[in-house]
Amino acid sequence: MKNRFFMLLLLLLLVVSLASCGKKEASVAASPSVEKEVAEKSSELSVLFMSGVYAESAKSMSKEFEDEFNCKVDVSDVPFSSFHEKAMLDLSSGAGSYDIISVNASWLGEFAPFLESMDEFILVNKYDDSDFIPSVLDACRWDGSLYGFPLAPTPNMMTYRTDLIETPPTTYDEYMEMAKAHNDPKNGMYGISIPGKKEQYAVMYLVRSWAMGSDVADENFVIDVDNEVGRAAMRQLGETKKYTDSGSLSWGLEESINAFLQGNAAFCEAWPTLGIVQNADNPDKSKIVGNWALAPFPAEKTGKNQMSLWIVAISKDSKNKEKAYEWLKKYASKDKQLEFFDTYNVLPSLTSFWEDDAVKKTPLAPVGPALENAMTKWGIPVSAELDTIMANSVSSYLAGSWSLDRAMSYFDTELKKAIKDNPPGDVKNVKAIAINKVL
């Protein structure tokens, strides 16, 4: 009897204890502070864009997205000069400070391991990406996977004076003949206006090399710079100096564009969408109103051109990937791309925009066809080294301090060292593959 009593007492205590634990757990689960914290974590997005119009376009959409998805959006912006370092530090450390990051296409191979692939999202959500210009969307891929949507595809094009040039050149020989015909330094007139600073003009080597039929490496990233095509590209680039202002080697974009707007050159080799398009028909800023047009650089053998591109991507460490996908989808939508173009002059990535009859009647019309045959710079981890090596080689040759032999030897040798120190692995050089397909 006594044993039965103790057994009942122990059973009662056990039931009370379990009930108490259940109430405690329920109390914690229902804690308003915890619920609030969880809700806040799931309803916030952090976005990182480059300072300027790109960041402004992202900020302009934030309030609308917050209202539509009940999700607070915080947009941070960083200047280009420090963007790579800040973004890569956050991604590689796994800090997850940003859900969405805009990535320059030339960094994609370096950033891809830390970004979320978009392939499954597009498949599961049956997302229609058919309106994106194929070459532009392809530039957002690395090793076969899509890592984001394109932002502001901008082809490198020339601008020319329509009152002086009837038809733009299709070869570099034609180009030099036209530049020479209009070169008159004694009267302040030059054939070509260039942004000669090495960080600006070096990429014009790639423009020429690609058009003439060669990248700086083959499809397996075996460096091949000091060859017939590479030397021809460098020589041609050097020839432009004959028809430019003697001070142009120290010019940036602003100086070269202004020289063209003031009527001091027949051609301009500067990004036309960074000042010419906006100001050429403004009589307060231009002396060539109504007398200018855009054209791709001479097509030569391949017609391949170079473009600048940013990719809006999602961090693998994002804590809110579903909302991040929605933000990307909205930012890349046709309505938003048109809005950003009208408000911030951010060029759309959509075929339908460039095929619109109204757009075809504007000076921007040649941009669409140029994008269809454009490529971005390398995306492998040595892309920054390529820029530096190419800039040193080109600027030293243009300044006359290096011979062609020395410039090409340096270019080839230093790039081989960079690749050896940072091998790209099994990925292929899609630039070389695309060029070889045309040849």
- Looking at the DSSP bridge assignments, the partners of residue 23 are none
For residues 321-346, give the mean pLDDT: 96
Question: H or E element: which one contains 305?
Answer: strand 305-314
For residues 351-358, give the mean pLDDT: 96
For residues 326, 331, 336, 339, the Cα torsion angle rounded to the nearest 10 degrees is 150
- The whole-angstrom separation of Cα 428 and Cα 436 is 13
Question: H or E element: which one contains 159?
Answer: strand 158-161
Q: Angle 321-331/53-69 helices, nearest 10 degrees?
A: 120
pTM (2 d.p.): 0.86
- pLDDT at residue number 1: 41
- pLDDT at residue number 42: 52
Better pLDDT: 305 or 13: 305
428-437 burial: b if 16+ Cβ within 10 Å, else e: ebbbbebbee
Q: How confident is the model over 33-62, as pLDDT tens digits?
A: 434 443 444 579 999 999 999 999 999 999
For residues 107-133, give the mean pLDDT: 94
Q: How far is CA 366 from the centre of its chain?
A: 20
- Looking at the DSSP bridge assignments, the partners of residue 402 are none
Whole-Å CA distances, 134 to 74, 141, 258? 31, 11, 34
Place of tokens 């095929």: 355
Sign of the torsion formed by the C-alpha atoms of 182, 186, 189 and 193: positive
Confidence of residue 25 (pLDDT cuts 50, 70, 90): very low
pLDDT(118) > 70:
yes
Average pLDDT, whole number, for the chain?
90
Classified as helix, coil or strand, 303 is coil
- Cβ burial of 7 (10 Å; 0-12, 13-18, 19+) is exposed
27-57 burial: b if 16+ Cβ within 10 Å, else e: eeeeeeeeeeeeeeeeebbbbbbbeeebbbb
Q: Do domains 43-154+308-374 and 157-306+379-438 have the same CATH topology?
A: yes
- pLDDT at residue number 7: 39
Relative to beta strand 100-104, strand 149-155 is unpaired
Tokens of 326: 């929605």
For residues 239-259, give the mean pLDDT: 96
For residues 406-422, give the mean pLDDT: 96
Interior angle at CA 226, CA 220 and CA 229, nearest 5: 85
pLDDT(219) > 90:
yes
- pLDDT at residue number 312: 98
The length of the chain, given as a count of residues: 439
Which CATH number among 3.30.413.10, 3.40.190.10, 3.40.50.12160, 3.40.50.620 corresponds to the domain 43-154+308-374?
Answer: 3.40.190.10
pLDDT(16) > 50:
no
Whole-Å CA distances, 225 to 39, 101, 205, 215? 55, 33, 11, 8
Tokens of 179: 């530049």
Of 27-41, 96-110, 230-244, give the lowest mean pLDDT range: 27-41
Q: How confident is the model over 256-273, as pLDDT tens digits?
A: 999 999 999 999 999 998
Q: How confident is the model over 283-330, as pLDDT tens digits?
A: 999 999 999 999 999 999 999 999 999 999 999 999 999 999 999 999
For residues 142-170, give the mean pLDDT: 96
- Beta carbons of 136 and 150 less than 8 angstroms apart: yes
Confidence of residue 117 (pLDDT cuts 50, 70, 90): very high
Cα–Cα nearest to 328, from 95, 100, 119, 86: 100
pLDDT(10) > 60:
no
For residues 379-399, give the mean pLDDT: 92
Q: Which residues contact 283 (CB under 8 A, 6 or more apart)?
A: 289
- The whole-angstrom separation of Cα 328 and Cα 102 is 11
157-306+379-438, which class in CATH?
alpha beta
- pLDDT at residue number 317: 95
**Domain locations along the chain:** 43-154+308-374, 157-306+379-438
pLDDT(17) > 70:
no
- Beta carbons of 237 and 208 less than 8 angstroms apart: yes
- pLDDT at residue number 149: 97
- Beta carbons of 178 and 165 less than 8 angstroms apart: yes
- Beta carbons of 73 and 65 less than 8 angstroms apart: yes
For residues 366-390, give the mean pLDDT: 92
- The whole-angstrom separation of Cα 168 and Cα 268 is 12
